[in-house]
Chains A and B, each alone.
Chain A
Amino acid sequence: MANDTLSLTLPTKSDYAGVVRLMLSGICARMDYSMDDIENIKLAVSEAYSNVIKHAFKQKPASDVTVTFCVLADGLKICIHDQGDGFDVNGKKTEYDFDNLDDPSVGMGVGLTFIESLMDELNIDSTVGTGTIITMFKKKSSYN
């Protein structure tokens, strides 16, 4: 399976969050990941997809999200690409701010914290007005 690339294009609708996880489960189960790792990857990618649904299209009309899975010899790289509003990467939060729970950015910051905690690499490339590409990588257990 090494060096295979799979791609999934989805509407920005919460109905499909489970579909992304289902596809990931299928890919990860064919690689050398433990159940814990599979759960971590599912959560991380689902968080990124949820962020797009919640935050990416406040200004611009909603368009599709593309999730690309790159099966590499040492692990799985996943890119979540939207062409939404973009955001300030430095403004993210790390825990729930209990005094500002109605702040729409709250969920996003915590979602990114989860991704950082659960994956081996995370890169966020976002430009206001152009969109966001979140790239994450999880090393296979046998490479740890």
Chain B
Amino acid sequence: MLYHKVYMSFLDFNIECSEQSGCPVVKMSGEVDIHTYTDMMKTLQSYIEKPESSVVLNILNVDYIDSTGLGAIAKCAHHMDKNNGLIYVVCNKPQILKLFDICGLTKKNVSMFETEALAVKAFGDQFKPSNG
């Protein structure tokens, strides 16, 4: 059982892009490492050049991410910050959440959510027109 769980996650990485109520959602699954992070970076780069760009990054099905993958998120967050954008990361794995804390990402414009619905709602609240 243990071996099965360990081996099943080997070398599998996918990215899906979609939109929910005007909110861009990037959903990734598998392992993000030095071999696969460039695909992730290319996808995120397509969002960072838009003014006031923000994106929901769903990594609920990511089994493994290392400093190269987190570095790609850091770069994306940095570029989006210049345009007052945010990255809404959807993640519920303690193993991965602690890495965001260790490398200081959560001190910047990266917010963590347990579900995609909560992240999309937060995105909607950010861009809600003011009544003033």
A residues at B contact (CB < 8 Å):
14-15, 17-18, 21-22, 25-26, 29, 35-36, 38-40, 42-43, 46-47, 50, 53-54, 95-96, 98, 101, 106-107, 110-111, 113-114, 117
Contacts and interface: CB of A to CB of B under 8 A. Distances in A.
Instruction: Please classify the interface of chain B as helix (H, G, I), strand (E, B), loop, or mixed, using the class held by over half of its residues.
Output: helix
Contacts, number: 83
A113 B102 CA distance: 8
A29 B68 contact: no
Among A22, A35, A96, A101, the one with the most B-chain Cβ atoms within 10 Å of its Cβ is: A96
B104 interface: yes
A98 B78 contact: yes
Interface stretch (B29-37, B51-59, B83-91, B121-129): B29-37
User: A38, A106, A107: which has the most chain B beta carbons within 10 Å?
Assistant: A107
B64 A110 contact: no
Interface string B19-62: 00000000000010111000000000000000000000000000
B34 A96 contact: no
Given A14-B35, A36-B95, A96 B103 contact: yes
Interface residues of B, number: 29
Contacts of B33: 14, 17-18, 46, 50
Contact of A96 (B5, B7, B31, B74): B74
Contacts of A14: 33-35
Ranked nearest first, the 4 interchain pairs of A and B with the lowest CB-CB distance are: A95-B104, A14-B35, A25-B6, A50-B34
A101 B102 contact: no
Contacts of B104: 95-96
B67 interface: yes
Interface string B90-129: 0000010001001111001000000000000000000000
A117 B102 contact: yes
